[in-house]
Amino acid sequence: MTTLSRLARWQASARHLKQEYDQVQGMGTMVTLRRARALAWLGVPLHAAIAGWLSQYQAAADQPKMQAWADALVGLQAGVALGLLVFGLLAHGLLRRKAGASVAGIVVQTAFCATYLAFGAAAAIQDVGVGNGIATFLVICMGTAVVSLMRPGFSAPVFAAAFVVFWTILRSSAIDTALLASLQIQAIAVVLMAQLISVMTWHQYTRTVLLQRKLERSNASLLVKQQELERLAERDTLTGLYNRRKFLQLAQQELDRRVRMPSGLCVLMVDLDYFKRVNDQYGHPMGDLVLQQVATRLAANIRSTDVLARIGGEEFIVLMPNTEPAGALNLAEKIRAAIGGQPLELPGGLRVAMTTSVGVTGLQANQTAPLNSLYSAADQALYSAKAQGRNQVVWGDVPAP
């Protein structure tokens, strides 16, 4: 692999990483601002308490450095408490306005990190002056790397600036050369480790968020497919009505309900007269449009409590709960008139007149019968309507059990 090809691959990888980082930048800033707000509510009283305690500190007369250390830390602790309060309020305001993912949110996040790191550097310098190490700088650098979700392009300048501030102040202090060199090495190691932790934390956060979003999209897609499968399992794809399987299921549920709450129940079966002629004369696509329009007219003429289904070909069926025979016959005539009273309008200006044969059956409140008997009685009544010349309604009794 040539050098140019390697560079091209690296550039492509860098662009891909940038695209991924851009996708999660807003959410990362929001998370950091929430953490900063929580840290402010905890940190402000803590730093204020430390400042109050140090203000009461009295070093021995022969330890002026310790007294100077305590006095300096009082100002630093009070200052960082005030800074945390300001940043906490800013973060709270941005989060309430849902503006945390904006440029203002990134600015507040960066300023928050810079302020805390500057405090860590200044406090560590004071510790060094009394013979302590740079543990404060170490802890705050590591804490910032973990708490603040910063992409490498942001974190590197922030930690580099923290090192420059720390080193500039350190060199101006009266420290012997050997200790200065040791502290310099320690500070470099601390900043590099903090940057490494920050990069790893950000990269892991990016991977987690993108994977979570991918899973959410996959779950949403699966849910849509599941809903579509459920719809296909119970709906006729051409008309959108219930299919035979779903109709039988709902009809059986209604029969089961009648055991507890007896009531009238009727079924009517509708068949389009001479529908085959439509397919032969105009073609199956036109026949499909006829079926769709018939389904629409049927749905418009039944009650909301009725169950309408297409059971195959040009046959439809209606389940009518809480209905006596007279009501079922009236509805059957209404349906017959609705379909046959006005031609169906088809594309190209075609007008197709259709008539229907309707078979009706039912049970009174004191009657019982299995579903297959009810279905067979409606089918037999429909057969009789067609045998008697079509375009009519025929009642058929359910056989006695």
Asked whether the beta carbons of 54 and 73 are under 8 A apart, the reply is yes
pLDDT single digits (tens) 31-85:
888 998 998 899 899 999 999 998 888 878 778 888 888 888 889 889 989 988 9
Cα gap 170→145, rounded to integer Å: 22
pLDDT at 323: 94
Give buried/exposed letters for 83-115 (b at 16+ CB in 10 A, else e). Answer: bbbbbbebbbebbeeeebbeeebbebbbebbbb
pLDDT at 131: 72
Please say whether the dihedral angle defined by the alpha carbons of residues 334, 339, 342 and 347, taken in this order, is positive or negative: positive
pTM: 0.63
Asked whether the beta carbons of 367 and 285 are under 8 A apart, the reply is no
314 is catalytic: yes
Q: Which of 155-159, 247-251, 382-386 has the lowest mean pLDDT?
A: 155-159
Q: What residues does CATH 3.30.70.270 cover in the chain? A: 244-395
Asked whether the beta carbons of 125 and 4 are under 8 A apart, the reply is no
Q: Does domain 244-395 have CATH number 3.30.70.270?
A: yes
Copy the structure tokens of residue 43: 């940190």
Catalytic residue among 216, 228, 234, 314: 314
Please list the residues that pair with 394 across neighbouring strands. Answer: 359
pLDDT at 336: 95
What is the mean pLDDT of the segment spanning 223-240? 88
**The pLDDT of residue 14 is above 70:** no
